[in-house]
Structure 1
Amino acid sequence: MNAPLPDVPEVRVVGLPQLTTGFDLVHRLDLAMHLKVHGALEPIVGERLAELADAISLNGRGGAGFPFAKKLRAVAKSAIRRGVRPVVVVNGSEGEPACRKDTVLLCRAPHLILDGALLAAEALGARTLAIAVTRDSTEASMREALAERGLSDRRGRGLRARVVRTPERMVSGEASSVIRAINGGPSLPSGRKVRASDTGVAGAPTLLSNAETYAQLAVAARLGAHRYGNTGLMDEPGTVMLTVSGSVARPTVLEVPVGVPLRYVLELCGAPPMPQAVLTGGYHGDWIDGMTASGAIVSRKALSTAGGALGAGAILPIGPETCPLGESLRIANWLAAETAGQCGPCKLGLPAAAAGLSEVLGGGGPTALEAVRQVTQAVRGRGACKHPDGSVRFLQSTLKVFTDDLAAHVLGGGCGRPTQGVLPLPNPGYQEEGVPSGEKLAVDWTLCEGHGLCAGLVPELIRMGPDGYPAFADAAVPMHLRGNAQRAVRRCPELALRLEPTPAERPQPSRKALPRGGRS
């Protein structure tokens, strides 16, 4: 099985670097080196900063792609209307296993991110800055960067700044999760449709954007809109940070001009010459087939037209040696275990969808395939946050792109290829208390009589199959369901059910290194 991505993978650049300038000189740009490499930065007042963001078509780089200027103006308008100081938040909560580009920036170019955040704070008149992170490495780097600038959370200062740690989970990066964590609550989606620009941290209007977005703003403020636009496309200027993993020589974070051919990016990272398909936008994104990928370019609009998504910049090709449906099932099980447990579509629907896909691969036939389609359709648009929608988007894309493989599994007994685990997932037990427990449900089929009591106690993980016996989701038991799982074990009249530790993933054989060249 593939190992989890390292915190800070190798970094390479296509063309001239902007965000990664100086990475070839030092591993981490402290304040002194940052100023030598990038130079000083002058404040930009109010509306002029929004005009700059408009001029460079700066959209959020965390996945949703919301226009930064629109968000900036909404926060300013709300703050003026209410007569309160707004808050600026850097969202560095990168909880997706396939993403590391924000972690790279937080660890290696922390002052570029702070430049953009402080520009926004100055333009808005904010006096509070919060930086949300998920890892030891990013927390240490940002705390050091704040200390280098003499910023802290002590009262009496012009700007109070602090670092907030959030769990390394898929749902931790959702805007309301970040705000709840900063407010001292659980790092879980609120489930309420309240805009952060109206009510966010401590009830104040809040400008929340991801780490790369602020870094891009800082680069544009130094270059100006015209010079910034010399790189990239006319309607999507500048560069973009990508995390490329999957069937590649080794995981790589790249800075590339918008508009570079996706084929070139994959070749640079050692992907197969013709992958089966490429997952774009990460585990809430879309698959595109290998032929389509060979003609696509890296831009938000172009990837969407090709049926993919730029999202948070995760690109994951898979080669011909692995079963794509088996790879997708691993991700579907992980997504089901990442549920916040706060709404039915997430708590019940995602495990049911994952279990249904498992039935398809196990020979469940057309009935099982139709059941998966019905579950994913029922979940869409009904969740308390975007996790259910993103997860079923991934599943529906899997069913749409891998039609030949589906036919082989549904009608012909399988595709004959093993699941090699090339899509990265965290090691079991990586999460903090309150999420997956590191245990899974298992059954002794020699004892099971199909009474169905377990399915009634833990419907999120067990449902009755068409043969009258329980079907299990191959996923870790979330902590919020562990009590129900234990009751199901105790109440099984045949003593057939048990909880056992999730197996550690086997190490993947070493792969051929990338060819020499590029930036370190």
Structure 2
Amino acid sequence: MSEAPRPGLGCVGTPRLLTGLDRFPRLDRDAHEAAHGPLPRYRPDELVDLAADIDLRGRGGAGFPFARKLRAVNQSARGRDGLTAVVVNGSEGEPSCLKDKALLLHAPHLVLDGALLAASAVGAEDVVIAVTRPDVERSVRDAVAERGRGGRQVRVALLPERFVTGEGTAMINGLNGGATLPSGQRVRTSERGLGGVPTLLSNTETYAQLAVAARLGAAGYRSAGLPSEPGTVLLTVAGSTVIEAPTGTSLAYVLELCGMRPGQGVLVGGYHGRWLDPGSALGAEVSRQSLAAFGAVLGAGAVLPLPEDTCPAGEVARVTRWMANESAGQCGPCVRGLPALADVLEAAVAGGGRSALEAVEARMLGVRRRGACSHPDGTSHFVASALASFPDEFRDHALGSGCGRRVLGALPLPDDESPERLVVDWTLCKGHGLCVDVLPDVVRLDADGYPAQASMPVPERLRPKALRAVRRCPALALRIQE
């Protein structure tokens, strides 16, 4: 994936994590300390108590209590010569999530503060910030250099940018010099992680929240958000804008702040998440409890409204294919099951009939609870939620009538790096329009019925259709060019 995009930033109420970023594009060490103030010292037991008092939970998706992680690492260390490590999971392999990248690009010292606080609580000398984007790596390395030498060692590691890189055992495997792939074993990093020692592993926002809480104290931290879920959260809206909002904020208000509406529905929690219908999205709040009432989870904070003018079935099929391609490639449900699920879903969307929809159901059942990691389950649940949320659209597509809308790419995916383009020879084109019938995801027609562009990128997955469009053009006006 390329280094772009950099997210836009916004806030509901008074910012905490994003403090100072209305004045500076990036907080260097001096600007960081001016915005946030000095970092207090905490004894290990005091920091654990603080994390427990504010009910700080991991912000990477699982929502595991951070205080329990601290205690588990300390307990494991007692039987392992006291050696421990801290790892910041700065991998966001899903293009719908940009919040951790936003922190590491714009406020890296806040994350370093939290990581060093946690390291002091577990007695770790080794702190690793694991990232997957070169621009993020540069930002964090600059922040480490700004702090100078001394104290605990902080290293920055660049890992492959893949969906599964953020899985705990995959990240530890990569940092230990192996393949960045899930181990398939139920290994707790708190028992055996970086270099084989007990390791505190959590995501970027979690450490930043810890740094904020350390400065505010428990009572100050609880002054925002819900009593049962205090503080703020970072949300990535439409894969482009990162919003900091207190828990309990109306989801509809967050969308309105970004100039959006629920449209046909809102995907919450990213590509392992669940769909909310428009009415539910208007009534939901940004909290675990509120979203659970609608059968959804906040996960890593991705909020994806689906506009009225895009095809839900096509959008879901497109993401499912990408998820299949992001397979770890280690177990049957990933190697065979997810590509097969993508195949039958595409067949259903292309008019494969009721049998194709039945095949989708069968393929979903075939991958559930059988994977070496959560990727097959998450992908299957994403498709199941879409089928339940857009039953008419999938039925109409399967039976051949379709919904009459194009796939606009409202669910973000990495830029296709294929060098091939579909090129129009204007001296030959007669405006027959057959190309758009074959390749509606690439070709757009202008008001006169001619292709709106002379050169259009062709994603690799659509190359067969592009070749068909070239062959079908009666004026021989199309060609594929690198």
TM-score for both structures, normalised by structure 2: 0.85
1:36-64 deviations in whole A, cap 9, x for unaligned? 11111122112221111111111100111
1:382-438 deviations in whole A, cap 9, x for unaligned? 1111111111111111111111212322346211221111111112249xxxxxxx9
Question: Which AA in structure 1 matches 2:59?
Answer: R
Shift of 1:179: 0.7
SS class of match (1:147): helix
Which residue number corresponds to residue 316 of structure 2? 328
| Distance in 2 (alpha carbons) for counterparts of 1:407 and 1:14 | 40
1:447-506 deviations in whole A, cap 9, x for unaligned? xxxxxxxxxxxxxxxxxxxxxxxxxxx9969xxxxxxxxxxxxxxxxxxxxxxxx999xx
Which residue number corresponds to residue 268 of structure 1? 257
1:379 and 2:380 aligned: no
| Distance in 2 (alpha carbons) for counterparts of 1:233 and 1:140 | 36
User: Quick one: structure 1 residues 15 and 4, their matched pair in 2 at CA, closer, same or farther if it must change by over 3 Å?
Assistant: farther
> 1:25-64 maps to which residues of 2 (within 5 A)?
25-64=23-62
| Distance in 1 (alpha carbons) for counterparts of 2:45 and 2:82 | 18
SS class of match (2:214): helix
Which residue number corresponds to residue 291 of structure 1? 279
Which of 402, 405, 428 is matched with 1:414 structurally?
Answer: 402
| Distance in 1 (alpha carbons) for counterparts of 2:296 and 2:394 | 20
Shift of 1:122: 0.7
1:194 and 2:187 aligned: yes
> 1:230-241 maps to which residues of 2 (within 5 A)?
230-241=223-234
Which of 345, 348, 354 is matched with 1:360 structurally?
Answer: 348
SS class of match (1:61): coil
Which residue number corresponds to residue 79 of structure 2? 81
Which residue number corresponds to residue 378 of structure 2? 390
| Distance in 1 (alpha carbons) for counterparts of 2:73 and 2:13 | 35
| Distance in 1 (alpha carbons) for counterparts of 2:356 and 2:254 | 37
1:295-315 deviations in whole A, cap 9, x for unaligned? 111112211221222111110
Question: Which AA in structure 2 matches 1:57?
Answer: D
Shift of 1:180: 1.1
SS class of match (2:9): strand
Which of 104, 107, 115 is matched with 1:106 structurally?
Answer: 104
| Distance in 2 (alpha carbons) for counterparts of 1:45 and 1:386 | 36
User: Quick one: structure 1 residues 400 and 4, their matched pair in 2 at CA, closer, same or farther if it must change by over 3 Å?
Assistant: farther
SS class of match (1:190): coil
Which of 119, 127, 130 is matched with 1:129 structurally?
Answer: 127
User: Quick one: structure 1 residues 50 and 211, their matched pair in 2 at CA, closer, same or farther if it must change by over 3 Å?
Assistant: same
SS class of match (2:79): helix
| Distance in 2 (alpha carbons) for counterparts of 1:8 and 1:406 | 34
Any conservation in 1 of the 2:353–2:400 contact (CA below 8 Å)?
no
SS class of match (1:82): coil
Which residue number corresponds to residue 164 of structure 2? 171
Which of 291, 315, 321 is matched with 2:303 structurally?
Answer: 315
1:21 and 2:19 aligned: yes
SS class of match (1:130): strand
| Distance in 1 (alpha carbons) for counterparts of 2:411 and 2:481 | 17
| Distance in 2 (alpha carbons) for counterparts of 1:158 and 1:111 | 15
| Distance in 1 (alpha carbons) for counterparts of 2:481 and 2:371 | 30
Any conservation in 2 of the 1:242–1:253 contact (CA below 8 Å)?
yes
Question: Which AA in structure 1 matches 2:179?
Answer: P
Any conservation in 1 of the 2:416–2:459 contact (CA below 8 Å)?
no
Any conservation in 2 of the 1:7–1:104 contact (CA below 8 Å)?
no
| Distance in 2 (alpha carbons) for counterparts of 1:36 and 1:184 | 38
Any conservation in 2 of the 1:280–1:315 contact (CA below 8 Å)?
yes
Task: Calculate the aligned-residue CA RMSD, in Å.
Answer: 2.1
| Distance in 1 (alpha carbons) for counterparts of 2:311 and 2:28 | 45
SS class of match (1:278): strand
1:235-283 deviations in whole A, cap 9, x for unaligned? 110000011016xxxx2111011110010111111113x5101011111
Question: Which AA in structure 2 matches 1:71?
Answer: K
1:154-182 deviations in whole A, cap 9, x for unaligned? xxx65222101011110111111111111
1:72-92 deviations in whole A, cap 9, x for unaligned? 100000001222310000000
Which residue number corresponds to residue 154 of structure 2? 161
| Distance in 2 (alpha carbons) for counterparts of 1:426 and 1:406 | 25
Unaligned runs of 5+ in 1: 152-156, 431-437, 440-473, 478-501, 505-520
| Distance in 2 (alpha carbons) for counterparts of 1:328 and 1:175 | 27
Any conservation in 1 of the 2:90–2:130 contact (CA below 8 Å)?
yes
| Distance in 2 (alpha carbons) for counterparts of 1:412 and 1:183 | 51
- Compare relative contact order (CA 8 Å, sep 6+) and give the higher one, 1 or 2: 1
Question: Which AA in structure 2 matches 1:265?
Answer: V
> 1:274-285 maps to which residues of 2 (within 5 A)?
274-285=262-273
Comparing 197-206 with 408-417, which one deviates more in the overlay? 408-417
Question: Which AA in structure 1 matches 2:170?
Answer: S
Which residue number corresponds to residue 202 of structure 2? 209
Any conservation in 2 of the 1:337–1:351 contact (CA below 8 Å)?
yes
Any conservation in 2 of the 1:60–1:210 contact (CA below 8 Å)?
yes
| Distance in 2 (alpha carbons) for counterparts of 1:330 and 1:185 | 31
Any conservation in 1 of the 2:86–2:124 contact (CA below 8 Å)?
yes
User: Quick one: structure 1 residues 428 and 305, their matched pair in 2 at CA, closer, same or farther if it must change by over 3 Å?
Assistant: same
| Distance in 1 (alpha carbons) for counterparts of 2:331 and 2:460 | 19
1:224 and 2:217 aligned: yes
Which of 280, 283, 291 is matched with 1:303 structurally?
Answer: 291
Unaligned runs of 5+ in 2: 421-457, 462-479
Any conservation in 2 of the 1:46–1:124 contact (CA below 8 Å)?
yes
Shift of 1:381: 1.2
| Distance in 2 (alpha carbons) for counterparts of 1:413 and 1:61 | 42
Any conservation in 1 of the 2:192–2:198 contact (CA below 8 Å)?
yes
> 1:434-445 maps to which residues of 2 (within 5 A)?
none
Question: Which AA in structure 1 matches 2:188?
Answer: R
TM-score for both structures, normalised by structure 1: 0.79
User: Quick one: structure 1 residues 343 and 503, their matched pair in 2 at CA, closer, same or farther if it must change by over 3 Å?
Assistant: farther
Which of 298, 321, 329 is matched with 1:341 structurally?
Answer: 329
Any conservation in 1 of the 2:352–2:399 contact (CA below 8 Å)?
no
